[in-house]
Chain A
Amino acid sequence: MLQRYYYSHMLLVPGLILFGVFFIVPSLAAFYFAFTNMDAAFQVTRWVGFDNFRILFEDDDAILAFKNTFIFAAITTVFKVLLGFFLAIFANQKLKSVLFLRSVIFFPAILSTVGVATAFVSFMHPSNGLLNGFLELVHLDALKRSWLTDPSIVIYSISLVEIWKWTGFSMMLFLAALQTISQDVIESARIDGASSWRMIKDITVPMIMPVLNTTVILNLIGGLKVFDIVYALTGGGPGSASSVLNTLVYRAFSNGRNGEATAANLLLFVIVLVVVLLVNRILNRPTER
């Protein structure tokens, strides 16, 4: 009785109304409007079945957007996790410069994505940008590129910016996990003569597995949902060379093709759900020994 009064369901109502109306309702509505011809004024005259999806799958730009989304999510996740992991191991040493290293590497994570992207538009400028200037300085002229205007590499250039911005975040997640590993375990392994590589493989990795899972999944979700950094760096261009699902949604929306935009959005929604469930299952597979 007391429970019903003090922990009343009534107290859930304000939060649930807000979350329900502004998050759940639009999500569910997408399952209906993705199959309609909703226009710029959100008017629906007709149910079009799978036409919106058919248009998406027959459109070269849309297919490219799918491909780019997966490339971006995969590449950025792999690099952020690997670099973040090794940087964390490095930054876990007792060195004077390590504290400085940590705060510098983490720093880009707090900056506005659009600000970072805008700065990189200048750094990646083909003739006097920082990146090509640096390559020239170290005599790697052959690696100089038109980073943001060459359609064949633009999605990788964008990935590079994302990796630059967020690796420090992954590093901090791993560092926090590394610091929970007891010194005794490491000390006794060292006394037993384990090599550094074996210590990483057999002690560090298993101990930080939960954090590794989280980091991979967080980065994958972020990668699939990407919009800001792509839009601010290239607007999806040149042409549609760097478009991703969310820029595709925006383009259809700004052209007033809201049915199609909803369909693309719904696909993103489903892809994120499926990828997260799948990866979660793979990573959480109990290791039987």
Chain B
Amino acid sequence: MILLKKWKRYIAEFIAILISGFVAIPLYLVVINSFKTKADAAEMSLSLPKVWNVLKNYEEVLKAAKIPQAFWNTSVVTVGSIIVLIILCSLTAFIIQRRNSATTRITEMLIITGIILPITVITTFYLMDSLGLVRTYMGVILLYVSGNFAFTTYLYISFIKGIPRELDEAAMIDGIGRVSLFFKIIFPLLKPATATAVIVAFMSIWNDFFTPFYFLNTASRYTLSVTIYFFMGQHSSDWNLVFANIVIVSFPVIILYLFMQRYIISGLTAGAVKS
């Protein structure tokens, strides 16, 4: 009986490793081929490189795909959007949750609809064009904020429900102003929700292709995801370089995942379930 159980366990462990292989082998292939020479990489085999072409490949990609520029572009829009998003959504959620009026109820309904619906990209482009915001950081930041606004606000609303009103009232008795009430008393208590919101927004904005492809479509403003797309178009036979580009672009996210895996997984899943 015990022997059987042990057997079963070994089989299960084996299956687990086998399943992991379906994900791990493609990833390994990308990394290992990014170290090879062009001819070697064209075979796309799982073997180790005959010649380790690491520095040469990565240097070439950094230069040819203008990675430093793209990295800067991606950072500007990601960080800018997240800061505005966090401040606006937490504040909006606070008012909606605390005050029960026709205005807040209608706002909440709009927000729930906004979570589901896709953006209508052509009319958005028309609007951005009229405002002179196409191909600007500012324009893309505004789009990311409005695009993530509904979801992030909703996330905050469900979290603020758990913060007792008595806290507000105590601060009010002390004669606190309304802006201080929110930013000094409430906002610091929202840290867990803010962490979730930042992770969800970071992952979706950093990796996004759709928005910069439409709205930031000029070589000097390419984001990292967009560089992969255009770089592959120009270097479709240099798989070593294409793979190196993928590795470079994924690198920041991978580092984050290695160190903050628990938070990222719980953040992304909590974010999804709350909505």
- Inter-chain CA distance A118–B34, complex, in Å, is 13
Is the pair B123, A18 in contact by a Cβ cutoff of 8 Å?
Answer: no
Q: Closest residue of chain B to A245, judged by CB?
A: B118
- Inter-chain CA distance A38–B122, complex, in Å, is 10
Please provide the chain B residues from 64 to 95 with a CB less than 8 Å away from any CB of chain A in the complex.
Answer: 88-89, 91-92, 94-95
Contact A273-B182, Cβ < 8 Å, known A114-B229, A168-B23: no
Tally of chain A residues near chain B (CB < 8 A): 91
Tally of chain B residues near chain A (CB < 8 A): 96
Contact A118-B242, Cβ < 8 Å, known A232-B229, A253-B122, A258-B122: yes
Please provide the chain A residues from 159 to 184 with a CB less than 8 Å away from any CB of chain B in the complex.
Answer: 164, 168-169, 172-173, 176-177
Is the pair A42, B120 in contact by a Cβ cutoff of 8 Å?
Answer: no
Is the pair A128, B43 in contact by a Cβ cutoff of 8 Å?
Answer: yes
- Inter-chain CA distance A112–B124, complex, in Å, is 24
Q: Closest residue of chain A to B21, judged by CB?
A: A104
**CB contact between B207 and one of A12, A14, A112, A225 (< 8 Å): that residue:** A112
Is the pair B118, A272 in contact by a Cβ cutoff of 8 Å?
Answer: yes
Is the pair B122, A118 in contact by a Cβ cutoff of 8 Å?
Answer: no
Q: Report the minimum CB–CB distance from B23 to chain A (whole Å).
A: 5
B85-122 near A? 1/0 per residue, CB < 8 Å: 00011011011101101011001001100101111111
Is the pair B116, A221 in contact by a Cβ cutoff of 8 Å?
Answer: yes
Contact A19-B114, Cβ < 8 Å, known A26-B119, A128-B43: yes
Q: Closest residue of chain A to B274, judged by CB?
A: A214
- Inter-chain CA distance A16–B91, complex, in Å, is 11
Q: Closest residue of chain A to B128, judged by CB?
A: A22
Is the pair A269, B129 in contact by a Cβ cutoff of 8 Å?
Answer: no
Is the pair A118, B232 in contact by a Cβ cutoff of 8 Å?
Answer: yes
A100-114 near B? 1/0 per residue, CB < 8 Å: 110111111111111
Q: Report the minimum CB–CB distance from B21 to chain A (whole Å).
A: 9
28 A-B pairs with CB atoms under 8 Å apart are A11-B92, A11-B94, A12-B95, A12-B107, A15-B88, A15-B89, A16-B107, A19-B150, A22-B143, A22-B145, A91-B16, A93-B12, A97-B17, A101-B16, A104-B23, A105-B23, A107-B257, A118-B229, A130-B44, A133-B44, A169-B268, A172-B269, A176-B273, A177-B273, A224-B118, A225-B118, A261-B122, A272-B118
Residues of chain B whose beta carbon lies under 8 Å from any beta carbon of chain A = 9, 12-13, 15-17, 19-20, 22-27, 29-30, 42-45, 88-89, 91-92, 94-96, 98-99, 101, 103-104, 107, 110-111, 114, 116-127, 129-130, 142-143, 145-147, 149-150, 153, 168, 172, 178, 181-182, 203, 206-207, 209-210, 213-214, 224-226, 228-229, 232, 239, 242-243, 246, 249-250, 253-254, 256-257, 261, 264-266, 268-270, 272-273, 275
- In the A-B complex, list the 9 residue pairs whose CB atoms are closest, starting with the nearest: A22-B146, A15-B92, A7-B99, A26-B123, A30-B120, A112-B207, A97-B16, A26-B124, A15-B88
